[in-house]
Amino acid sequence: MIHIKTESQIEPLHRQLGGTKEAHFSVTHARNLQLRVRATGAKTWLYRKQTSGRRSRMSLGSWLIITLAKAISKAAELNAQAYDGKAIRATLAFGEVVDIWTDRKALSGNDLLEPCREYEKHNAGQAAAGHKTGHCMGFISGVVWASPDDGCWPAGANLGQAILIVIKYLKENPAQLHRAAGYLVEETLREAWPCPK
């Protein structure tokens, strides 16, 4: 069974069906996300969900319109929503975050700012959209975990502090929000906690 890891794997998949009409391929590190590939060449993202004990699949759209990174992001959002009251704890799995972060074009600072505003609300004790709060926490956590160059953290610094530093930067630098979110997180933490030269 082929597990999709990169965008480049997707286009030729229909040529590997060996006469079958269609097949479903899992996506590495993306829970409940599949790509349905038909012999005609049509490729559709599917989200596997469970309702009242019954499993079903929901279409997220065509691969021609929705990139791998966007499909992973949407599946992660649906995974978080499925937890309802546990949504704050249902942050993106590290594998999902790292895949999104690795595709530097996937999320911009604009995309990250909205869920991080919800994180701020939650931090202040206000009502907030749990799954969006999870996206903010999960994405920044994933970059910190995966990045080889996010500064030299001082003793006592923690992830919550890093998230607040990133949010402050996003809010105070709107001219930079078109840039890739992974880069912005790295640069912000490098500037906040520079390594000694």
Q: CATH code at 162? A: 1.10.890.40
> 170 and 92: one domain?
yes
Same structural domain for residues 55 and 82? no
Q: Based on the domain organization, do 24 and 112 belong to the same domain?
A: no
How large is the average pLDDT for residues 53-77? 82
Task: Please tell me the least confidently modeled range out of 39-48, 102-111, 163-172.
Answer: 102-111
Residue in 104, 81, 100, 101 with CA at minimum distance from that of residue 91: 81
Q: Give the pLDDT confidence score for residue 93 in this predicted structure.
A: 45
DSSP calls for 148-166: S-S--PPTT--HHHHHHHH
Q: What is the pLDDT of residue 60?
A: 86
Do both 23 and 49 map to the same domain?
A: yes
* Structure confidence at residue 166 as a pLDDT band (50, 70, 90): very high
107 and 85 within one domain: yes
Claim to verify: residue 52 and residue 75 sit in the same structural domain:
no
Q: Are residues 60 and 72 in the same domain?
A: no
Its domain, for residue 32, covers: 1-66
Q: Which of 8, 3, 51, 40 minimizes the C-alpha distance to 24? A: 3
Q: Which of 16-25, 114-123, 138-147, 159-168 has the lowest mean pLDDT?
A: 138-147
Chain-wide mean pLDDT for the chain?
78
pLDDT digits (tens, 9 = 90+) for 68-95: 888 888 887 777 666 443 433 334 444 4
Residue 39 shares a structural domain with residue 18? yes
Residue 1: predicted pLDDT: 57
Phi, psi of 85 (to 5 degrees): -65, -20
Residues 115 and 193 in one domain: yes
Total count of domains within the chain? 2
pLDDT of residue 172: 96
The residue that leads in pLDDT, 28 or 33, is 33
pTM: 0.50
> Same domain, yes or no, for 50 and 76?
no
**Is 62 found in the same domain as 115?**
no
| Whether residue 82 is found in the same domain as residue 140 | yes
Which of these three, 49, 66, 83, is where a domain ends?
66
Predicted pLDDT at 102: 44
Q: CATH number of the domain at 19, please.
A: 3.30.160.390
Query: Tens digits of per-residue pLDDT, 91-144?
Result: 444 444 444 444 444 678 998 898 888 888 877 778 766 667 777 887 887 777
Of 43, 66, 89, the position where a domain reaches its end is 66
